[in-house]
A and B are shown apart, each in its own frame.
Chain A
Amino acid sequence: MTTTLPKPTIVITGIGALTPLGIGASTLHERWAAGVCGIADGAGVCRDYEPKDFLSVKEARRLDRFSQLALVAAAEAIADAGWGDELPYDPMRIGCVIGTGIGGIETVEIQHDVMRDRGDKMVSPLGVPQYMPNAAAAAVSMRHRLQGQMYGVVSACSGGAHAIGSALRMLQYGDADAVVCGGAEATLTQFGFACFNAMQALSPTGISRPFDLRRDGFVMGEGAGVLVLEELSAAQARGARIVGELAGYGSTSDAHHLTAPQPSGKPAARAIELALNDAGVSAAEVSYVNAHGTSTQLNDAAETRAIKLALGDSAMKIPVSSTKSAIGHLLGAAGAVEAVATVRTLSTRVVAPTLGYEVPDPELDLDYVPGEARPLLSSNGHPPIALSNSFAFGGHNVALVLRGAPV
């Protein structure tokens, strides 16, 4: 094992989310905990989102939907952090890292139609700036004048979590005073569905029920989640309200198969162990696991094994629930949206259930929080600690350890 060197403490001062459950980080967790499911007709659409409510005409027509969703979540997180028009730090020391799985697929489809129907010369000059996977990060940076390190992260369904991990390291290394980080995805297009359906990854019944015996694939959703991270003493110096701590990050790769997880769960377990080690916490101190829990046969089995390998005897005692039961799988946004949901879980001390979990799979024997929300129990009165997992096509494993703010 590696030894843990002292690292700067990085806190979360703002969160934002735009999801199929509505607009806002609080809305996401409140509705999920109340048992509301944002999935309809086999997709998790951000139905409450109207571009004109949030974007100028110029922004709306220059941004693919995935970047638009990122802008909305980022604006919420930045306002939540109490940043006004004047940024609290040197703009050149504020980073921005936004992950995505796919990027601007709707733009690609539209411009490909234009090329086929009207010729090469009619393809829009906005095509590339709209579909490039770093467009969301660029849009957030431009809107808020963030001028530190800024880039997109691409690792399929781990993109959002990798972005948060990258932001953590940027801060701990001292390359930035604050980082706006998260993930965004908008792939609910005909081509998006056709491609994921061709892989037989999507649920033919259109039901997201992670860990249930009847699970038959994931339900695709869209949205964005964003967090504002700051170094603790700097955040305190400016009088920031601290909503949680990003305590640890760990990441590994399966090197096994393009889409299937390594069935033993060992590489994923190592990511969890690395994250716990990074945070300097033991498995027994973990009060909640926000699972990747996609509702596919393979993920939910491999993830269960990974959790058991990494958390040992504690695994059976820790509630494990999947946000995807309420909003579907937001691909590159999932890790960020789920980190936001986990922050709300830690703040409200309410564990939301795995919706639709009714028929246990005899192979999967963790406490998946069936039925209703329940209180989050923390060990010996300390701020509670949670784990948030993200795994992805390509074999990317990411675990984040989050600690609640002291009450």
Chain B
Amino acid sequence: MPAVTSEQVEARVIETLASFGPDQSSITREATFEELDIDSLDLVELAQVVEDEYGVVLKGEDMKELKTVGQSIDLIVARAE
């Protein structure tokens, strides 16, 4: 499987989060999940998309540490390598 780029993951994560409700323009790398009203149920759905797409398994304890969109993107990219 070709390595995924940070840009690809970022685009996919933002698209997925936008489908959960927040306005796409508000979803930046710096935005916190709390600000975006993204809760634990949303993050489980995000993890399902990520696993399906990149084969990266994100467990509950991984998700708990994530505060911002950027952190989630970096974690996915790092795990996918």
Contact = CB atoms under 8 A, between A and B. Distances in A.
Interface in A23-69: 56-58, 61-62
A124 B37 contact: no
Contacts of A126: 41, 45
Contact of A61 (B20, B37, B44, B52): B20
Given A121-B51, A122-B52, A58 B44 contact: no
B45 A124 contact: yes
A125 B44 contact: yes
Interface in A97-129: 118, 121-122, 124-126, 129
B20 A125 contact: no
B21 interface: yes
B68 interface: no
Contacts of A129: 41
Interface residues of A, number: 12
A116 to B, nearest CB: 16
A106 B65 CA distance: 34
Interface string B45-68: 100100110000000000000000
Interface in B11-67: 19-21, 37, 41, 44-45, 48, 51-52
B37 to A, nearest CB: 7
A252 B27 CA distance: 55
A58 B41 contact: no
What is the interface of chain A mostly: helix, strand, loop, or mixed? helix
Which residue, B19, B45, B48, B51, has most C-beta atoms of chain A within 10 A?
A: B48
A197 B81 CA distance: 53
Contact of A122 (B19, B37, B41, B48): B48
Given A121-B51, A122-B52, A56 B21 contact: yes
B53 to A, nearest CB: 12
B41 A125 contact: yes
Given A125-B41, A126-B41, A129-B41, A61 B48 contact: no
B16 to A, nearest CB: 12
Interface residues of B, number: 10
Contacts of B20: 57-58, 61
Contacts of B48: 121-122, 124
What is the interface of chain B mostly: helix, strand, loop, or mixed? helix
Interface string A367-384: 000000000000000000
A124 B20 CA distance: 13
A62 B37 CA distance: 13
Nearest to A123: B48
Contacts of B44: 125
A56 B21 CA distance: 7
A118 B37 CA distance: 28
Contacts of A124: 45, 48
Nearest to A56: B21
Nearest to B49: A122
Contacts of A58: 20-21, 37
A62 B41 CA distance: 10
B57 to A, nearest CB: 9
A260 B27 CA distance: 55
A115 to B, nearest CB: 12
Contact of B21 (A61, A118, A121, A122): A61
A56 B44 CA distance: 20
A57 B18 CA distance: 9
B38 to A, nearest CB: 9
Which residue, B20, B21, B44, B51, has most C-beta atoms of chain A within 10 A?
A: B21
B71 to A, nearest CB: 20
B40 to A, nearest CB: 8
Contact of A57 (B21, B41, B45, B51): B21
A121 B52 CA distance: 10
A124 B45 CA distance: 7
Given A57-B20, A121-B51, 13 more contacts: A56-B21, A57-B19, A58-B20, A58-B21, A58-B37, A61-B21, A122-B48, A122-B52, A124-B45, A125-B41, A126-B41, A126-B45, A129-B41
19 contacts: A56-B21, A57-B21, A58-B20, A58-B21, A58-B37, A61-B20, A61-B21, A118-B52, A121-B48, A121-B51, A122-B48, A122-B52, A124-B48, A125-B41, A125-B44, A125-B45, A126-B41, A126-B45, A129-B41
